[in-house]
A and B are shown apart, each in its own frame.
Chain A
Amino acid sequence: MIPEVERDLIRRARSGSLDAFDALMRAHQDRLYRFVLVRGASSADAQDIVQDTFLAAWRYLDGYRERWRFSTWLYTIARRQASGRRMDHAELPESLVDPGDGPDQAASAGQRRENIWPVARKLLPSDWFGVLWLYYAEDRKTGEIARILGRSAAWVKVTLHRSRKRLAELIDAADWLPEEVVSK
């Protein structure tokens, strides 16, 4: 969404326009829902969290400061809303994984070419995965990630480096192993 348009919608929503807030929800709901899903929530929990997040955003819209992107503010609320729930799904939901990843594509690429994110979800600790996701999938800067996750920027940078390194090492190791070993 264009920043000027979003700013105008926020201003109107602050003055009580539900239509403006509905437009904001429409613009952010899918990515917010995906963010909660990849963090390990079940589908039902993710819907509840997104709903509670939007309600909290409406309630505290006056407290939003434009220092951060609106979506960053929403992610921060969603992370807090999710803190009291079980987020222990180690695998990404089936609905999320791209059905285009198939054996034909893998054969044409000449290598094992499954989506890297489900692999990362299995291999990395939950916090590390969250940092990696926000940085690469959501294009957040380290300061924004620190804000969303309630951590320091230094922790985010170190975790980003470690998670990249570990993921690369584990994927390389898996690529060199025979197929029957990988499948175990």
Chain B
Amino acid sequence: MNRQDLEHRLHADAERLGASCPPHLRHRVAERIRHGEGRPSHRRIGIPALAGAFAATAFAFVSVWMLWQPSAVERHDARTVDLNATPVVAKSDRMLASREAALENEWQLFERDLRILRDHVTATFDKNPNS
């Protein structure tokens, strides 16, 4: 039997197979629906939308939580045990630290200039004019 004959026979013979569903079955379904069984859910929000909403809520919660975290402050005790190699400081702390460092630098330069001046004066007056 070639393919065309087979396909023709499959189509034709299927038409000759008939089944009629008992009508009471449909009535029984309608009855059960009327009695509240299998009521349509009317769910307009699908599972992907729910998942997206959940993810957005979680993201917002984490963001707020992170914003509310207190900023890290440089701890002196951490410096003593050398655990503060890269301290995380707030902006104002950083400005204060840089200003202190600048003052420190100025003071050291001033001290160095004073030392130089002192040495120069000492060398001038210690010089014997008769030698």
Contacts and interface: CB of A to CB of B under 8 A. Distances in A.
A116 B25 CA distance: 30
A115 B18 CA distance: 12
B21 A32 contact: yes
Given A132-B10, A171-B1, A62 B25 contact: no
Counting contact residues on chain B (CB < 8 A from A), the size range is 20 to 34
Contacts of A29: 21, 25-26
Max count, chain A CB within 10 A of own CB: residue among B1, B17, B28: B17
A18 B34 contact: yes
Contacts of A8: none
B6 A164 contact: yes
A102 interface: no
Nearest to A16: B40
Given A47-B22, A51-B25, A55-B29, A117 B40 contact: no
A50 interface: yes
Given A16-B40, A60-B41, A167 B28 contact: no
A171 B40 CA distance: 48
B117 to A, nearest CB: 91
Contact of B39 (A32, A59, A92, A98): A59
Contact of B26 (A26, A96, A137): A26
B76 interface: no
B20 interface: yes
A55 B34 CA distance: 11
Contacts of A73: none
B7 to A, nearest CB: 7
B127 interface: no
A18 B31 CA distance: 10
Interface size bracket, A side:
35 or more
Interface in A3-59: 14, 16, 18, 21-22, 25-26, 29-30, 32-34, 37-38, 47, 50-51, 54-56, 58-59
A59 B40 contact: yes
A164 B16 CA distance: 20
A55 B9 contact: no
A132 B6 CA distance: 11
B3 A58 contact: no
B91 interface: no
B30 A137 contact: no
Nearest to B39: A59
Interface string A128-159: 00001100110000000000000000000000
A93 B20 CA distance: 12
Contacts of A96: 17-19
Interface string A98-136: 101100000000000001110010000000000011001
A101 B16 contact: yes
Interface of B: 1-3, 6-7, 9-11, 13-14, 16-22, 25-26, 28-30, 32-34, 37-44
